[in-house]
Each structure stands twice: as structure tokens, then as C-alpha cells.
Structure 1
Amino acid sequence: MSDRLKALAAAGVSVWLDDLSRDRLTSNNLAGLVAGSAVVGVTTNPTIFAAALSQGTAYDAQTAELAGRHSSVEDTIKALTTDDVRNACDVLTATATASNGVDGRVSIEVAPTLARDTDATIAEAVDLWKIVDRPNVLIKIPATVEGLPAITSVIAEGISVNVTLIFSLDRYRGVIDAYLSGLEQAAANGHDLSRIHSVASFFVSRVDTEIGKRLDSLGTDQANALKSRAAIANARLAYEVFEQTFAGERWAELAAQGANKQRPLWASTGVKDPALPDTLYVSELVTAGTVNTMPEKTLQAFADHGEVSGDRVRGRADEARAVLAELERLGISYDEVVTVLEEDGLDKFSASWSDLVDTVQAALDQAKPR
């Protein structure tokens, strides 16, 4: 294992891989990353599965078998993706056991087309939980306004959740409230709170991408000085929200019943701007008790030249607030940016889902008995 990844893990950062495919599983690539690259979890999303199913022949046999049973495209997608997630959960079972379920987690997302439908999201989350049938799966629910009550309801059923597509601090507060409400209801329903886990996926690089476009349009020295600073500032302020909320009386009552904190997860940590260090969103967000999910390219980059230089998050909230205040003074509205990012994130995942549907439908059509 790379000494640099060892140092990252020793600093309290759980390294999760933001990718999954049938080839990774059958080639033992995932098992190798778990054994030798500090990987202790996996995240997926519609874009990842669209890429996996559109490349190579790894899914052909199962798709042909499902076509022979006249499986619908939706049921075929669910079968293919949940099989991958279940098998990845099995690869990570030992990790989950050793960490008491904190790590060893594999995430699968409800269909993005359901993101504005609370009841449908709840039903899909419960269905995915039952199909994967592994205690170390996390069901991903987007942090839309409609997603918040779904998070509460799913947690109340004793199901572990990865809340995804979080951009704003206000929405993050709502996510934590939804989690705590879910735990309170789960306790009332007789569930063992120690078995319920959750992460809150706060998206990072996309913030700099969106704000960077606006700073470029200003073109001033002051604007240029703020480039690539907003995303890290936003994440550091999110961590402050986490610290404050999980230190209050409401949390203390749940903790006394064995509840687990909902850990912050830094998502979208692959660097989009080639002018930036390719490990920026890993090295600058090091703090204990967090998760950093990264594409393999970023994982390899950190293994090669990433640096861990102490805690880069705690105690930096005032500095982070100053960055966002400077952006507001330049006329860049934080509220507008995070709203755009949520809508854009949903649109991208929906587009990937459409590509996935088209790819699988074409495969089914080709495999149907003549």
C-alpha cells in the first residue's frame, strides 16, 4: 500500500472508490484496491453504471438471459446494477465487520427520475435495500426538497442511507435534521440504532467549476484571486455545521441509544481544472471522521504524490466565510449558484439514466430470441 494512502487513512479519512463495474469485480481489481490501496468503500451513480454497461461484453450473458425471460428495461437495469452492488458488498464484508459497519459500504442510487417524488423515492429505496440484501449497502437518495422526507422515512425503516447531491449549507442542515428525525422514528419503531449508518455527500469540485465561470466573466484581479477557493471553503463550512449539530442535546439523546453520526463525505473530488493540483480536493479536506470518495485516477494520483499535512478543515471556518463573503461582494450569489448546481446535477444524472436505458434496451433487443 502506498505510504501516502496509509497517511491519509491514518489521518482518519476513509478512502472510497467512486466507480464500479462487472469487470472490476470479475478481474479482482476491486479486491486488489481493497487489499493494497486503502479502499474501504465504493460509491456508484447513474453515470458510472451507464459507462460500465456501455463498454465491453461483461453484461452480455446476463442481459441475454433476462431478455429470454422478457424482462423489461427497468427490471433489467435493476438486476444488473444490484448484482454488481451485492457482489461488491461481499468483497467489502470483512472491512464492514472490522469497522462495525462504519466502512465496507457500497452505495446504489434510486433512479434520478424519482428525485422530485417523495413516495416513489421511498418505495424504490426500500426495494433496492431488499434486492441487494446486504447489511453493508447504502441507498443513495438525492438531497432535494422532496428527498428530505424520504430520507427520514427510509432511515425510520432501519435502512442505511447515503444522501447525495448536497451543495448548500442550508440544505445540508435539512439533511442532518432528516437523518436525526429518521433515527428518532427508527428508535420508536424498535430498530437497533447502532446498525443504521449514513453519510452526507457534499459535492466539491462542481462548486469551483460553476463559480469559476462567473469569476472568469468578471476578469478582474480580485476575481482571479478567488478562483478555485469556493469549493473548499464551502466544504469547510459544511464541516462546521456537522460539528455544531452533532454536539447538541438532540444528538446526545440519540447517541445514548447507540446511534452513529452521519459522516460528511466529500464527493466530486476529481479535479476538473487542469491548472489545479490533481489531488487538491483530497489534501485540502483532510480531517478525521470523514469520507473522501474519488475516481481511480485521483486515487492513483494521491498514492503517487498526494500530501497529508495535518488537519486542513477544523478551525478554518472564519477563513472560509471570508471567501464566500468576497464572492457575494463581487455579485456572485451563493444561493443562486447552489440552486443551479442542484438542478444541473439532477439533469446530468437523468441524462446518464436515459443513456443507460437506451443502452440496455438496445442490448435486450439484440438478445431477444428470434
Structure 2
Amino acid sequence: MSKQSKEAALAEFRSRVSDPKPTLYDDGRGVPEEALETGFIHWLTLINAHGDDGKQYFIEVVPMTGIAEAGVDLWMLEVGSERGGVVEVPGSVHKIASYPFTQADRKTFPVGTLSIERGDREVSVRLPGFEVVCKDDHTWHYDVHDEERKTRLQMVHHGEGFPTWYGKEKPKYLTAHSIAYGYNWVGRIEGTLTIEGREVALRGAALRERYVAVDTCAAEIGGWEDWMWFHFDEAFGSYYEMKFAGVKQMSLNLREGGQYFPIGDFEIEHHEWAFHPRLGAFVPTRYRITMEVEAGTLELAGDIVESKLWGMRGEAPDTPLYTHNFGELQGVFTDRQGRRQVLSNGVGGGCVRLWKPYPSFLLPQASEQLQAFADRVLLFE
């Protein structure tokens, strides 16, 4: 990134965000007055953690409200602990991205059920069976339980460093018709998960997202969106790229010296493409990312081992959207003096939205799986 480009990017960031530290106002912001019919709000957390039972857990939890066409408030808790990967298909040049099913708890309510209680020291967001309390020490406290399934998640997310911002004083135009306030913030988590009659202690990392959509357009975002978070002991952050709109945004925190870089440049390499049967599309299953900031260069690499679909209406969306998790992330940071540091305990995940699904005749062996999985889409478009 040239000096001129860097100055322009920093000026654009400061026009939206005067102070990168989130406030309770940001955490408690409701559906904005200027929101269109596709506006919505949510408090999402994507978790990649290890349990005291020796398993790695991939968890998504979110309450949301506001999309008029959906006509519901909802919360969702989805838990996975089995790894998948790429498998060869006999007699085909193509491969299949095979990922196990996950346990999902999804509850819907009439619009207006979700409540936001704003106080001097905390903001509480509630639906029946769901509560997240956002405190002024930058922690989010979740308590989510499904009495029928006997599933419960109680955990705390600690925001570390500073977030990647969409918009604070002014919204970010992700595409021409996808406009949002809010942020996503990487940090550590600890808590307990009760599942199948067992209580598991969790420790790990997660990204939480406070998203306030003024407008959203899945087709524009689906021109290919990459959205990813990562956490090492020494460095953490996130990025997103909207290829259709040519919009790229990132932030990087370096533990040493408490350094925060709200702008920079990055390049994404997609490798080991495979057909994702539930999605009906070919997806990359191996990532290599290079991020450049003023302090140096961060190189990341990892394989996808777990994936879920999103879709509010319980069917595969026209513009396919899926989340994914890395089993492990490898990372190296090289500073401007050439000192190379291998990073430790790397985890992460993210999501991708595509323009459209591909006909299953491209891979007949996956057709039956695609049909069988069509009703297993759980969240939102």
C-alpha cells in the first residue's frame, strides 16, 4: 500500500470511527431510523474452543431481529465437535468437501419479542431462552438454553485490543446497497457447554459481531465475500473483502506493545477447491493469507475442517452463504527489520458468500446429498 493510499484509507476510517474503543451505545444500538425493509440487527459470536473432554468445539450463537421479509425474531445455537475435510470421488476429477452435521437449536418468535435493556454499566439483550449482557468492561456474557434438547451455553467473551469496524458515527458502505454500523471483535472466551447430558468446560477464542444493517443486498455481497477472523497468542484480528464492490477492510492487533492497526492491505489465496454438497457450490478448503501493516507482514495458512450453512427460511439461499472453521492456523509475523516470529496456538474461522449455486450435474455423486441436506439450513440469508 503506497503512502498516499494509506493516508486516504486512514482518513476514510477516521470519518466513520473517531475512537476505536466500543461503547455501550454501540452494543445497545437498535434498528436505525434510516433502516430499509432489509435492515436488521444482531449480536453474533463465532467460537473455536477446546473442551476439557479433549474435543475441539465449533459454536455459533446469535440473536437477531429486523428483517421485514422474514417476519421473525430468532436465536440460534449450533454446536459441532467433529472434523471433516476433502475426500476424493472415484471416477471424477472433482472432490467433495465433506463436513459432519452439527447439533442445532433454533427458536423463532414474533417480531418485537426481542428486548434491549440499556443501563449505565451494561446492555441486556433478551429472547425467551436467550440472554446476552454486554458490560462496560468490554465483555459479553451469554446464557442460552433449550429446555427441550437440554442444551445450554454459558460463556464470556473478552474483547482484546480493538475491533475491525464497519461504522460508528457514520455507516460503512460494504456494497452500494449493503450499509452497516457496528464492529467485529476477536478475543478469548471461557465458559461451559451442556450437551447430551454432559457439561464441558470451554476455553478458546471467538469473534463477536455487533451488526446494525441499514440495508443489505445478498446478491451484491455474493459477488464473492470473504470474511475471516484469527487469534494467536501474539496477534489477532479480522478482515473482510467484498469483491463485487472492491471493498477491503481489516484490522490487526499485536500483543507486544499493544499495537493496533485499523488499516492495511491483504491478499487471499484459495486452494483445494471441492464441491460442498449442502451448499451446492464449489468452495476453497485451504487458505493462505498475507496481511501488510505498517509494522510488518503477517502470513496465515490453514485448512477448513468444519462448515455450516446459513439461511433464515430453512432452505438453501439463492446466493449461498456458509461459515467455516480452521482446525489450526499457522502464522508467521515478519517485522520491518526482518525479524521472523512463528506464532502460537492459532485458531480462527469465518464465512463466504457466493454469487449462485452450481448445478449438481457437475458432480452427480453429490446430488443425493444435496437434496437430503436441503432442509438443514439454519440461520439467515
TM-score range relative to shorter protein: under 0.3
Whichever structure has more helix as a proportion of its residues is 1
Whichever structure has more strand as a proportion of its residues is 2
| TM-score, normalised via structure 1 length | 0.27
